[in-house]
Structure 1
Amino acid sequence: MRANQIGSWKNSNIGFQRDFIRYFESLATLALYSRQERRTLIRREANYQGADSEIGAPAELRAEIVVIGSGPGGAITACLLAEAGRDVLLIEEGEHLPLSSCTPFSTEEMLQKYRNGGQTVALGKNKIAYVEGCCVGGGSEINSGLYHRTPPEILEHWRKEFQVEALAEKDLLPHFESCERDVSVSMLPHAAPPASLKLHDGATKLGWKSLEVPRWYRYEDAVPKSAIGNSDKSRAGRQSSIGSRQSMTETFIPRFLNAGGRLLSSTRANRIRQNGDGWLIESAHKSSGVIRIVADSLFLCAGAVHTPALLRRSGITHNIGNSLQVHTTAKIVARFSDDVNSADMGVPVHQVKEFSPRLSFGCSISSPAYVALGLLDHPEAARETSRTWQRTAAYYTMITSEGRGNIRTLPSFRDPLVRYSLTETDRRNLSDGLRKLGQILFTSGATELYPSLTRGSVLRDDSCLSKIPDVLPDGLANLMTIHLFSSCPMGEDKSKCATDSFGRIHGFKNLFVNDASLLCTAPGVNPQGSIMAIARRNVLKFLNK
């Protein structure tokens, strides 16, 4: 009887019932596949470095410049300011942990380094799960490290539509090049994983543009970014080498500390207030309690959700948190007749850009746990994961959404309410993306496809792709994103922009935003390269360099 009730809720027409069952299925799946991860963690715990390089947490602190948030925007901001000789305090809500504290893309990493253990969602007719880093280094500590420059046509759109100054491709080129050197953006020095090559081969056979995306990884035999476009065959004979992710805790955070910067982790900024020409930050340390921090200048780099949330809690609301955009993704789990997956596969690196920026395709993390999660809509296939995962991989279609979201704070609630609305065009593009992704995968030899659609059918050949509806029905697609931006857009058009062209909030002195919130619209590519280059540009403007 209990199984029947669970089944009826899982297939209910009431969204809450479906979501409730899916939530606990996800937790059970992660628990099932986390036992091996825990054994790995025990071996790694001896490598914890902790926060030995940090300052203490007194009741009051003073700094010339305070930076809130230590992700890609905040880390580069704090580093360059400290290296210019400024007195800088960097505060971060999450803990200070080394990359070696847990296995990448594991359940333990979600608990250690994700906000709310990865259990965050944008509400709406079509709920979109999203993840944020909550640790020193932010999202750079948990993402795949794939790197793109902002497409020139996107920069031109921002420049014209939002009246952003000094944002032509030539203006950002030195900032891209500097950031790429600093985080060792490079190509794989060996052949890509088989699951990644399946995507590439299928697209190539269809005549669609597919490319290997560089990553900010350091390899002893790295191929420089200038080698983009070289075929995988030129590297196929090389042996696999283990690289190290060049996250913020490996690059800009150590530089910041070496330059005399002060770092305080496990500290949440609750509210900011004007203090003469400067700012007072009302904060709380995890162990020490309330801290008052006084600064002459303040940079907010807490991400596209928590930067606007902090501003709105502080009564600063004009064009703040009203224009959130995301890259919405839907997934297909593909099964092949040959092995495409392995325990050390790592991150797939190919993306199909034939229909970009409207649609992009890629291969996701495909550990057994992630494969099983991708099969929750297909329970019989999910039960076979332990036997079939080596022949299985997860893939995604990503759209550049025309929908918008907003961020609002609620009394007595720690986290903000995030809402997002997909348009009919968005839902049509997601359907088109799933069909085209299916076409790529069948062309590359997939035998079964399992789309992430509630009540979705198993697809066994090209003729089955017509079962995917022309427009995804509201509430039946299981969507997610890892790219959030545009909640405090920059530009001189004060009717739509929260900040000026260089991140200073309109109408305020010495108050800046310098993270993903500034991006005017969805860039259509992984945004970290854009965030870092624009942050560097803005800091140098602040320093009059």
Structure 2
Amino acid sequence: MTTRTALDGLVAALLADDGRSAWPAAVPRRLGDMLAAMPGSARTGMRLAAAAVDAYACTRTGRRLHALTPAAREDVLSAMGGRAALLPFLDAVKVPVLLAAATERMLHSPQPRHPAPREDPPLLCVPSERWPDRSTADAVVVGSGAGGAMAARTLARAGMRVLVLEEGRHWTTAEFARRPPLERFTELYRGGGATVALGNPPILLPVGRAVGGTTVVNSGTCYRTPARVLARWCDSFGVALAEPALFDARLDEVERTLQVAPQSTDVLGGNGRLALQGADRLGWHATPLRRNAPGCRGSCQCVVGCPSGAKQSVQLSVLPDACSAGARIVTRARVQRILVETDRPGEPRACGVAVQRPDGTVFEILAPLVVVAAGALHTPALLRRSGLGRHPRLGRNLAVHPAVSVAGRFPHPVSGSPAVLQSVGIEELHADGILLEATAPPPGMGSFVLPGVGRELRAELEGAEHLATLGAMIADQSPGRVLGRSHPLPYYNLTPDDGRRLLRALHAMAEVLFAAGAVEVLTGIPTAPRVRTMPQLADVLAEAPVRRLHLSAFHPTGTAAMGADPAAFPVDPYGSLRGVRGVTVADGSLLPSCPGVNPQITIMAAALSVAEEVLRRDGV
């Protein structure tokens, strides 16, 4: 038995491949390409799972899965699915298969023709292979995402010689337009999108890796930092930069840069319109989301790079300004460590960075200022590798937005017209830390997993245009941590209170869908995947363990938090890392608690604040 044959058989069984359609036969190859981009542990796990199902088929029928008839293959999976303990296993296996299957089905269908994408503004990007072994700068910025881009622009505009280091590569809008979504997905996300926070339960935690960071692959939703959050940061944690009037001015600047505005209704799509309709019938507050996507064409591919160039991720909006002011971006550059010297007894100071190219060779950039903006998962690891991770709270205080999705089936098609990936926000429960958003990701790329196996799953996939999806995220109370030096290892346990809020969110989303006219709601709960009434859902939720939900999480923050108390916060209230001079943190790590909303413009405003503080402190 070969692993490839086992994987082929598993895909054929899950998708009820009877040879009558061309696209299912192409899924194993697509799946193999996707697994190749993932960490070794994910590849091994998927292949072992396929081998285990194949072994079960042999035990039950005496034949391998790929050698069985379509009906016999389905009988094998149905027998497995009849055992409650195996349902989570089967659903976990379905996730990558659905990603590959939805892509192949899309490619085998007629595709709408879109206008040519906008031309990108120029960037001064140099691959690390062409960068010299020794160079100098006034400031090095590690990371080109929301925080790093804003810090780089601010420092460069003040006349500093700025180098931005990015581990990923530069993607153009034209590349996004011509490559299938799944191919972009596996390259734009770290580990092919398979980053997982270990814990109870393990939670998928996808983060981007490209020039522009996660802003390239987020939804474009731009919530301002809630006033109650700023008040807490300022009053409870002593973060003077979070003083509401001051921070609001920074948010205004970020919104101008990103051209943030309410999403126009012409591309809300069926999901968004149904969310507004359902919320209105319930008397709940809902509105089109504010987004950084002027002229959005509704391609609904934000999470794999906007193919029209409408979404103003920072490689289109902030980094071009930084480069116009003289900054340069070195791509495919992994920072090994921050270089430190001691010019006075007991007072270490940063003097640059050591950086690794893809071929393993190392170059150095000497600079008196290092701005760390590698993200909440990678910033603690970099500081530890550099010998700067001694503060006991570094890597702790990890906050994320745990998320869950449901889908409603409607008698009429929902998708098919231009649509925004995240279109409408429902804030009825926001005071309790629950935010509902209408979502319409590319097929197979959402956190929602279609129910069933075999013919049932195939029918769900082929009837997906009748589904409207809602997603909910909660402001967590379950602080996790990031371990590791070479590679970060996030660890996160969901608290019972957060679990109850996720169930409450699921209940609320079903209310909206039924109010909008859904004939059934797909719950995402393996043991009870469908309900037709709210009382039926209430019974299901009363028995449903939260850890059986399909959970994902987004927006990691807080792992190098800023605050006034030196014992509680690794970073001072102005963004400087304690214990060393010349190191400033300017990413989501800074945020002292969960912001409760999509955090991009909060992170950018914080980075702007700390970069301006550097200029003020150094008299630039």
- Over 3 Å counting, the alpha-carbon distance change for 1:48 and 1:286 in structure 2 is farther
Q: Secondary structure at the match of 1:178?
A: helix
Instruction: Report what 2:564 is aligned to.
Output: 492
Q: Is the helix fraction higher in 1 or 2?
A: 2
- Over 3 Å counting, the alpha-carbon distance change for 1:474 and 1:443 in structure 2 is closer
Q: Secondary structure at the match of 2:240?
A: coil
Match status 1:514 vs 2:561: no
CA distance in 2, matches of 1:317, 1:10: 48
List per-residue Cα deviations over 1:153-200 (Å, max 9, x = no partner): 011111122111131220112211111111110123343222112112
Contact 1:402/1:423, CA 8 A, preserved across alignment: yes
Match status 1:193 vs 2:259: no
Superposition map of 1:278-357 within 5 A: 278-287=350-359, 289-315=361-387, 316-318=389-391, 319-342=393-416, 344-357=418-431
- Displacement of 1:257 in angstroms is 1.3
Q: Is there any run of 5+ residues in structure 2 with no aligned partner, and where?
A: 1-56, 58-64, 66-72, 298-307, 343-348
Instruction: Report what 2:435 is aligned to.
Output: 360
Match status 1:83 vs 2:157: yes
List per-residue Cα deviations over 1:472-493 (Å, max 9, x = no partner): 5253121012211111111111
Superposition map of 1:30-49 within 5 A: 30-35=99-104
CA distance in 2, matches of 1:112, 1:212: 30
Match status 1:102 vs 2:193: no
- Displacement of 1:12 in angstroms is 6.4
CA distance in 2, matches of 1:396, 1:284: 39
- Displacement of 1:370 in angstroms is 3.6
Contact 1:158/1:520, CA 8 A, preserved across alignment: yes
Report the more deviating stretch, 516-525 or 19-28.
Answer: 19-28
Report the more deviating stretch, 462-471 or 138-147.
Answer: 462-471
Match status 1:70 vs 2:144: yes
CA distance in 1, matches of 2:245, 2:555: 25
* Matched AA of 1:177: D
- Over 3 Å counting, the alpha-carbon distance change for 1:404 and 1:5 in structure 2 is farther
* Matched AA of 1:498: P
List per-residue Cα deviations over 1:383-436 (Å, max 9, x = no partner): 2244322211221121111001111116xxx53211101111011111111111
List per-residue Cα deviations over 1:63-101 (Å, max 9, x = no partner): 111000000100111111111110111000001111332
- Displacement of 1:48 in angstroms is 10
- Displacement of 1:459 in angstroms is 0.9
- Over 3 Å counting, the alpha-carbon distance change for 1:21 and 1:311 in structure 2 is farther
Match status 1:457 vs 2:529: yes
The TM-score, its normalising length taken from structure 2, stands at: 0.78
- Over 3 Å counting, the alpha-carbon distance change for 1:432 and 1:386 in structure 2 is closer
CA distance in 2, matches of 1:11, 1:521: 42
List per-residue Cα deviations over 1:314-367 (Å, max 9, x = no partner): 231312111101110111021111222126323232111111142111122343
* Matched AA of 2:549: A
CA distance in 1, matches of 2:182, 2:296: 29
Match status 1:267 vs 2:333: yes
CA distance in 1, matches of 2:469, 2:457: 13
From 272, 282, 287, give the equivalent of 1:206: 282
Superposition map of 1:380-419 within 5 A: 382-409=457-484, 414-419=486-491
CA distance in 1, matches of 2:82, 2:174: 41
Superposition map of 1:441-480 within 5 A: 441-470=513-542, 473=545, 475-480=547-552
Q: Secondary structure at the match of 1:495?
A: coil
Q: Secondary structure at the match of 1:403?
A: coil
Contact 1:66/1:299, CA 8 A, preserved across alignment: yes
Instruction: Report what 1:117 is aligned to.
Output: 192
CA distance in 1, matches of 2:374, 2:434: 28
- Over 3 Å counting, the alpha-carbon distance change for 1:70 and 1:471 in structure 2 is farther
Q: Is the strand fraction higher in 1 or 2?
A: 1
CA distance in 1, matches of 2:186, 2:107: 12
Q: Secondary structure at the match of 1:323?
A: coil
CA distance in 1, matches of 2:526, 2:568: 37
Superposition map of 1:161-172 within 5 A: 161-172=236-247
CA distance in 1, matches of 2:546, 2:258: 41
Instruction: Report what 1:226 is aligned to.
Output: none
Instruction: Report what 2:48 is aligned to.
Output: none
- Over 3 Å counting, the alpha-carbon distance change for 1:428 and 1:190 in structure 2 is closer
Instruction: Report what 2:134 is aligned to.
Output: 60
Percent identical among aligned pairs is 27
List per-residue Cα deviations over 1:252-279 (Å, max 9, x = no partner): 1111111111210100112223134333
**CA RMSD between the two structures:** 3.0
Instruction: Report what 2:504 is aligned to.
Output: 432
CA distance in 2, matches of 1:31, 1:163: 48
Q: Secondary structure at the match of 1:501?
A: coil
Match status 1:543 vs 2:612: no
The number of equivalent residue pairs is 519
CA distance in 2, matches of 1:108, 1:51: 24
- Over 3 Å counting, the alpha-carbon distance change for 1:95 and 1:446 in structure 2 is same
* Matched AA of 1:161: S
State the structure with more CA Rg: 2
List per-residue Cα deviations over 1:205-230 (Å, max 9, x = no partner): 11112122111112299xxxxxxxxx
Contact 1:148/1:527, CA 8 A, preserved across alignment: yes
* Matched AA of 1:248: V
Contact 2:103/2:180, CA 8 A, preserved across alignment: no
Instruction: Report what 2:20 is aligned to.
Output: none
The TM-score, its normalising length taken from structure 1, stands at: 0.88
Q: Secondary structure at the match of 1:333?
A: strand
From 156, 167, 177, give the equivalent of 2:252: 177
- Displacement of 1:449 in angstroms is 1.0
CA distance in 2, matches of 1:437, 1:189: 23
- Displacement of 1:62 in angstroms is 1.8
CA distance in 2, matches of 1:122, 1:302: 17
- Displacement of 1:296 in angstroms is 0.5
- Displacement of 1:307 in angstroms is 0.8
Report the more deviating stretch, 23-32 or 488-497.
Answer: 23-32
* Matched AA of 1:421: N
CA distance in 1, matches of 2:410, 2:551: 24
